[in-house]
Amino acid sequence: MLGYATPAFDYITSRLFVAKIKENINDSYFDALQERDEKGKKFEDGMGGTSATQTKKQVALAMRNTRSKVETVGGNRNNRHAKIVVLRSRETETDNSIQNMLKNFGSRVDEPFIQFQDTPVFNIKDNGFVFDSDVNYHAGAYLGSWEDIFINPFDPKNKKTNGGRGMLTTFFLAYANTLRYLIHLTPYSMYDRIRTNAKYKYKRDTSVEKAKFIARNNLDLSSVLPAPVDEKTGHTIEEATKEAIEIANSRINDVQNALNSNKIHATFDSVAVGGSQAIYKFTLPRDPDLPNDWKDVQKKMAGFLKVAGEPIISSSAGMLTVSIANQRVGATEPINIPVDFAEMVKKRDKGMKTLISGIAGVDALGEVIYVELGDANPHMAIFGQSGSGKTVTIMNILFSMMNSVTPEDVKVLFADGKGNSFEFMRSDGDAEHPNPFVMAQPADGSEDIEYTRALVRYVEMLVRKRIALLKERKVSKLAEFNKKFPDEKMEEILFVFDEFSAVTDRDNELKGDDYTKYNVTDRIEYITKMARSTGVRLMLANQTARKEKLPGKIMANVTGRISLSVSERIEAEIALPDSNIPADLIAQPGEFYSIMHGVNNPEHGNSPFLTDDQMYDLNDALTKLFGVHKYVATREEIIAMAEEDINDIGVDSGTYESPTEEEMPASDISMDDLVALCRKYPEWAIENEENEKITGLDVFNKGVPAMTIKNKKIFKITLNSLKGKVAQDEEKQEAEASKKQRHSGNALSTVNGTDGDFATLPEEKVKEKMLV
């Protein structure tokens, strides 16, 4: 079988390696093997040459016995293994010499899809020094395509004067591509190509079977929104994509050379384009000697490749990914493939994990990047400096969500700390383009701080009320409530808070009671901690991720993160913690990294650009479908509601168990019985510590003073230990609630029925203390 990476080809390659190894040693070794000394003279009888020539002889012998094997294996010939074993000798000196000779041999082997270590590894099993390599090789992907072969040399695009490559180059390319095609044309590659295509074309959407919710398709988006064209060039998506691929392919060698010049040796695997980026993937050798910090390499590569911004390099699972601005040599700017909002939303899976399920953008491979807020990931933050595309990204997430759910499922609240970015979402008065999902007037933190604070307080109250209601109905979370009480169905609420640190910064202007009631930091902290089960979710956005600006107690509970371009590395580190993603190197507005699916699954993409007019059109189309929806609460109502006393909500009262009528302590109850009763109903005891019913008992009032004083002491110790236990338990429940993300209901449902748990520990502790 002829063709690339076929058994015959692999056999020849393996023989070439053996020849190369032999080539590696100079003639004096073969002279030694022939029993000739340095001068080419035959050793004198019995002399056997010097010990140096003896060693050389041994080395040459070992080299002659080199074994080598190359094979392309795996169900669809997806892996290329290669191995060279140089046998060891019987003595150390010779072995050292062999090892010396083989130093750096690996990096001199220049064979596609084979990556040897620089220096061999000694392996006792193979009884020698081993180079081995195991590299991905997708036969089908390297087959090339007919379009590469049948290039029309007369196409005006190929005219040099049009910036094309010229007729001669085109002929040459067609010729070279034909050769490449033939070389790669093997049964495996054909099979692999067909299989991959089929997998791509006939991918079944299995999301519905597992899904909790089915995505609606509220709008015929393609008719609401025109297909986008690139603002600067007027390119359609197809035109831009075609050119982008061509540019990316033309730079494969440049990128490879740039890596090599930084002493990074990896084999090119594939390139993809999307947005303004070209993403090159390389296979790493077995023992890649990679820098700990890519900063330096990135800077050098930027200089080498002369591209806008610095490349972003990362490595995982044996692959090296280099993402660079996709631009021609000499061009000042990368090419941009516009992202089509309508196409992006159409690609969404039918099944949704959560109701608040939006799409922020698409990655370079065209896959959508989901932003889902639910029990697992209740809140998120979006970071990006001014002009990086925060507002646009937020609106992408919102509109893609609004296309899949109804206003009965989800409502949205808006606040902007620095201005009125969400003014256009207003739905009251003479608003021209009302949006049916908007729950209350958007708040403008710079102009109307009073309403902004009241709105935050309103959200907190809403969370508290919902918690109280869920508790009362003995359900653990909103979804369960809606299932059990369909007539009282409540929507999920998404609170979008842009530039929120501008509002928290002004908390210190508040004094006394007002501070307690309206300081936004504490409100937000409460919401991030407690709102999980109530279906109230936060989407925070901020220009800076700096710690001085973002209280840690808030950010610790905001697990979902997206970062657009930020100004400095330190900001990138805080925005996307533990991910090592240099978001400060992002060059384009709308380009972002998401760790919504964990730091181990970072996603990198571009969001579609939505103009104001397009967003008005989307609002109008949604209103046409759902009708005009009034605000759930007006500005005045929200300000009034914020004044309500939290304690009136009744979250904490009446929820603990109290002694029954008969169990209530009689005035002559013994101290032992009282302690037992307190332990049985700890919350009741704490609540009634100062109550006449307890302080008036005989044990504290009758008998010798020494006795009553001692009893008071015992009671105090008992209660203190109970308080500690109750507080501990609450903390534990809270911690568990945030740990057991999916079973968020537990924090509520375990409040009852814990009485037994209190019994043991305090008793021992109390006795211990009483002995003292």
Site residues, ligand ATP (CB under 6 A): 384, 386-392, 421, 543, 589-590, 606-609
- Between residues 355 and 401, which has the closer beta carbon with respect to ligand ATP? 401
The DSSP code sequence of 388-440 is: SSHHHHHHHHHHHHHTTS-TTTEEEEEEESSS-TTGGG--STT-SS--TTB-S
Q: Identify what 607 binds: ligand ATP, Mg ion, none; CB under 5 to 8 Å per kind.
A: ligand ATP
- Between residues 382 and 469, which has the closer beta carbon with respect to Mg ion? 382
- Between residues 106 and 384, which has the closer beta carbon with respect to ligand ATP? 384
Q: Identify what 327 binds: ligand ATP, Mg ion, none; CB under 5 to 8 Å per kind.
A: none
Q: Identify what 602 binds: ligand ATP, Mg ion, none; CB under 5 to 8 Å per kind.
A: none
Q: What angle do CA 364, 369, 375 make, to 5 degrees?
A: 160
| 744 has binding-site annotation | no
The Cα 674–Cα 697 span in angstroms is: 10
Q: Identify what 384 binds: Mg ion, ligand ATP, none; CB under 5 to 8 Å per kind.
A: ligand ATP
The Cα 181–Cα 178 span in angstroms is: 5
Sign of the Cα torsion 697, 699, 705, 710 reads negative
The Cα 633–Cα 456 span in angstroms is: 13
**Three-state DSSP class for residue 658:** coil
The Cα 47–Cα 68 span in angstroms is: 35
Cβ 590 to ligand ATP shortest distance, Å: 2
Q: Identify what 392 binds: Mg ion, ligand ATP, none; CB under 5 to 8 Å per kind.
A: ligand ATP
Tokens of 581: 């993603």
Note whether 507 and 519 are within 8 A (CB): yes
Phi and psi, residue 277, nearest 5°:
-105, 150
**Three-state DSSP class for residue 135:** strand
| 74 has binding-site annotation | no
Q: Identify what 357 binds: ligand ATP, Mg ion, none; CB under 5 to 8 Å per kind.
A: none
Tokens of 102: 């083989």
Cβ 346 to ligand ATP shortest distance, Å: 18
The Cα 212–Cα 266 span in angstroms is: 43
Tokens of 186: 């093997």
> Of 76-84, 228-236, 414-422, 604-612, which part binds Mg ion (CB under 5 A)?
414-422
The Cα 721–Cα 599 span in angstroms is: 41
The Cα 186–Cα 143 span in angstroms is: 9
Tell me which residue has its CB nearest to Mg ion: 391
- Between residues 302 and 562, which has the closer beta carbon with respect to ligand ATP? 562
Cβ 566 to ligand ATP shortest distance, Å: 10
Cβ 393 to Mg ion shortest distance, Å: 9
- Between residues 481 and 609, which has the closer beta carbon with respect to ligand ATP? 609
Pairing of strands 356-363, 67-73: unpaired
Cβ 418 to ligand ATP shortest distance, Å: 7
Report how far apart, in Å, the C-alpha atoms of 721 and of each of 41, 521, 675, 718, 764 are: 98, 32, 11, 5, 10
Cβ 366 to ligand ATP shortest distance, Å: 15
Tokens of 666: 């009689």
- Between residues 391 and 619, which has the closer beta carbon with respect to Mg ion? 391
| 733 has binding-site annotation | no
Cβ 185 to ligand ATP shortest distance, Å: 41
- Between residues 275 and 665, which has the closer beta carbon with respect to ligand ATP? 275
Q: Strands across the sheet with 128-136, in order?
A: 67-73, 79-87, 128-136, 121-123
| 384 has binding-site annotation | yes
Tell me which residue has its CB nearest to ligand ATP: 590
- Between residues 49 and 608, which has the closer beta carbon with respect to ligand ATP? 608
- Between residues 442 and 682, which has the closer beta carbon with respect to ligand ATP? 442
The Cα 497–Cα 531 span in angstroms is: 15
Q: Identify what 590 binds: ligand ATP, Mg ion, none; CB under 5 to 8 Å per kind.
A: ligand ATP
Applying CB under 5 A, the site for Mg ion has a residue count of: 3
- Between residues 340 and 409, which has the closer beta carbon with respect to ligand ATP? 340
Q: Identify what 26 binds: ligand ATP, Mg ion, none; CB under 5 to 8 Å per kind.
A: none
Cβ 498 to Mg ion shortest distance, Å: 6
Cβ 392 to Mg ion shortest distance, Å: 8
Cβ 11 to ligand ATP shortest distance, Å: 52
Which residues contact residue 250 at a Cβ distance below 8 angstroms, ignoring those fewer than 6 apart?
328
Q: Which parts of 220-249 interact with Mg ion (CB under 5 A)?
A: none
Cβ 398 to ligand ATP shortest distance, Å: 13
Helical residues (DSSP H) of 272-409, grouped into ranges: 295-305, 341-346, 390-402
What string of H, E and C letters represents the secondary structure of 169-204? HHHHHHHHHHHHHHHHCCHHHHHHHHHHHHHHHCCC
> Of 317-325, 384-392, 444-452, 688-696, which part binds Mg ion (CB under 5 A)?
384-392
| 366 has binding-site annotation | no
Q: Identify what 519 binds: ligand ATP, Mg ion, none; CB under 5 to 8 Å per kind.
A: none
- Between residues 311 and 389, which has the closer beta carbon with respect to ligand ATP? 389
Query: Which residue in 283, 321, 388, 391 binds Mg ion (CB under 5 A)?
Result: 391
Tokens of 620: 């109008």
Query: Which residue in 13, 89, 421, 543 binds Mg ion (CB under 5 A)?
Result: 421
Q: Identify what 386 binds: ligand ATP, Mg ion, none; CB under 5 to 8 Å per kind.
A: ligand ATP
- Between residues 144 and 389, which has the closer beta carbon with respect to Mg ion? 389
Angle between helices 635-643 and 449-472 (to 10 degrees): 70
Note whether 411 and 356 are within 8 A (CB): no
Q: What is the dihedral of CA 693, 695, 696, 701, to 10 degrees?
A: 160
Phi and psi, residue 308, nearest 5°:
-70, 135
> Of 195-203, 293-301, 337-345, 385-393, which part binds Mg ion (CB under 5 A)?
385-393
> Of 141-149, 389-397, 526-534, 645-653, which part binds Mg ion (CB under 5 A)?
389-397
The Cα 688–Cα 722 span in angstroms is: 13
Q: Identify what 389 binds: Mg ion, ligand ATP, none; CB under 5 to 8 Å per kind.
A: ligand ATP
Tokens of 466: 């919902």
Pairing of strands 79-87, 277-283: unpaired
> Of 275-283, 421-429, 443-451, 473-481, which part binds Mg ion (CB under 5 A)?
421-429
Tokens of 184: 């790669």
The DSSP code sequence of 707-739 is: HHHHHHHHHHHHHHHHHHHHHHHHHHHHHHHHH
| 391 has binding-site annotation | yes
Cβ 159 to ligand ATP shortest distance, Å: 31
- Between residues 384 and 535, which has the closer beta carbon with respect to ligand ATP? 384
Per CB under 5 A, does 565 bind Mg ion? no
Cβ 447 to Mg ion shortest distance, Å: 16
Rounded to an integer, what is the distance from CA 590 to the centroid of its chain? Answer: 17
Q: What is the dihedral of CA 353, 359, 364, 366, to 10 degrees?
A: 70
Binding site for Mg ion (CB under 5 A): 390-391, 421
Task: Please enumerate, by residue number, every residue annotated as part of a binding site for ATP.
Answer: 384-391
Task: Please enumerate, by residue number, every residue annotated as part of a binding site.
Answer: 384-391
